[in-house]
Amino acid sequence: MDPLSITASVAGLITLAGVIISKGFQISDRFTNTEKELNSLLNEVSSFSGLLVGVQSHFEQHQASTPFSIYSLNLPRLSERDQSPTTPAGHLYTALNDCKSILEDVKRLVEKISITPSFQLVLRREVFLKEAVKHAAKLERYKSFFILAFQINSWYERLN
């Protein structure tokens, strides 16, 4: 993935996160005792969105820099066949696709909660909240992935 493709992918994820946050806070009052699990998920999406803004900024800055650096991930565009998960670009490609999938699942959950009648919401509350916890944990793992990747990148740039 080249920096422009990465920036575009991340911009799409930021937009998706914004939709989730907006819709999520609209529905948070549907739970009688504003559930900490739902709020935690929305906070996780919000902080993940902030991290994505940093990722996007990094790749926008690196579009004009060195054309090939393994650690800054300024790699030539890879074909589908070359998207090996063992290359830095392959890891990033996989991570961005996984993040998109997670955010789409969160969006579906939020939409499902928003259209569920109140009496059914009471009955399905535990199922919804377990899903919220699961998605929050996945987003936390990817936040850690991006933070670690940029720490390694920073360390590498200081050595060179």
pLDDT score at 12: 92
pLDDT score at 92: 83
Nearest CA among 87, 59, 49 for reference residue 78: 87
**CATH class of residue range 3-76+85-159:** mainly alpha
In which residue are the tokens 């070359």 written? Answer: 82
Nearest CA among 10, 11, 12, 22 for reference residue 46: 22
Residue ranges per domain, the chain?
3-76+85-159
Which tokens is 41 given? 């998920």
Q: For the chain of 160 residues, list the mean pLDDT of each consecutive stretch of 10.
A: 79 94 83 72 94 86 54 45 60 89 95 87 85 94 90 82
pLDDT score at 135: 95
Question: How many residues are listed for the chain in this entry?
Answer: 160
pLDDT score at 64: 55
pLDDT score at 65: 60
pLDDT score at 31: 64
CA distance 7 to 74: 12
The DSSP letter of residue 7 is H
This prediction's pTM: 0.79
pLDDT score at 70: 38
